[in-house]
Amino acid sequence: MTNIRSEKGFTLVELAVVMIIIGLLIGGVLKGQELIKSAKVTSSISQIKGVDAAVSTFQDIYAALPGDLIGAENRLPGCAAADVCSAGAADGNGNGLVEGAALAAGTTFEATADTEAQAFFVQLAKADLLSGVVEGADIFGGNYPSSPIGGGLLASSVDAVANLPANDTAPTDFRSGLYLLHTGSATDNTVPSMNALTLERMDRKIDDGVPTTGSVYALGAGCLAAAADEVYSVNQPGLDCLAAFRIQN
């Protein structure tokens, strides 16, 4: 006698159900990644607004900008004369600007040693107005805060287009003031830190969505469309953008 064994397989309905489940899983993963990106953008915006608020509070208490405070070692808790928080040998000069040391055009955001720019975030931390800063090394997470989207922030007063980073295409309505520069390096202000799509999202949420106007400026040729530089090159996946956020007049 021939032993006949029945062969069983998946029905079309079962295969369809499996495919639907796989599709939902993939969709969930992609959606989760998008939510993570969105959360990082929101956190970065909150960080910038938090620094802005901290600067205003610092001014109310000490009648000076962080870094520009005269005699910080005598006015801020835990700040000694030789510390970064006192701006070193330079100290703050109280002129209403956050300055660096003898800076040439294109390097205003270089927070070099013994400058007000180097002491800016440290003084905010000493005044208990900012977290994420540990006085010591010129790194993000050290003298300068890290950003949720990578890189970190430097600060400086800027009063001329020539003093923006060297790889900038000049903003069309540039205004002087206190700026936070989002960069990929704490010691080299020409290192990009984000892609154009991320910066465009931040610009739309904070400002006007245009990279060369308002209070958010896109810096770096690869970040802007080649034509008139009025739109972001969102089709570029690489980290091509620096950004300057104007937070104080």
Residue 4: per-residue pLDDT: 53
Could you tell me the pTM of the whole model? 0.82
CA distance 153 to 141: 10
Q: Shortest CA distance to 133 belongs to which of 194, 180, 181, 85? A: 85
Q: Shortest CA distance to 114 belongs to which of 141, 145, 140, 93? A: 93
CA distance 37 to 48: 17
Residues with pLDDT less than 50, the chain: 102-106
The residue type at 176 = S
Residue 23: per-residue pLDDT: 75
Helix ranges, 114-229 (H): 116-126, 196-206
Residue 51: per-residue pLDDT: 97
Residue 67: per-residue pLDDT: 92
List CB contacts of 166: < 8 A, sequence separation 6 or more.
105, 106, 107, 190
- Which strands form 216-219's sheet, in the order they lie side by side? 152-158, 177-183, 242-248, 216-219
Identify whether the C-beta of residue 37 lies closer than 8 Å to the C-beta of residue 198: yes
Residue 31: per-residue pLDDT: 55
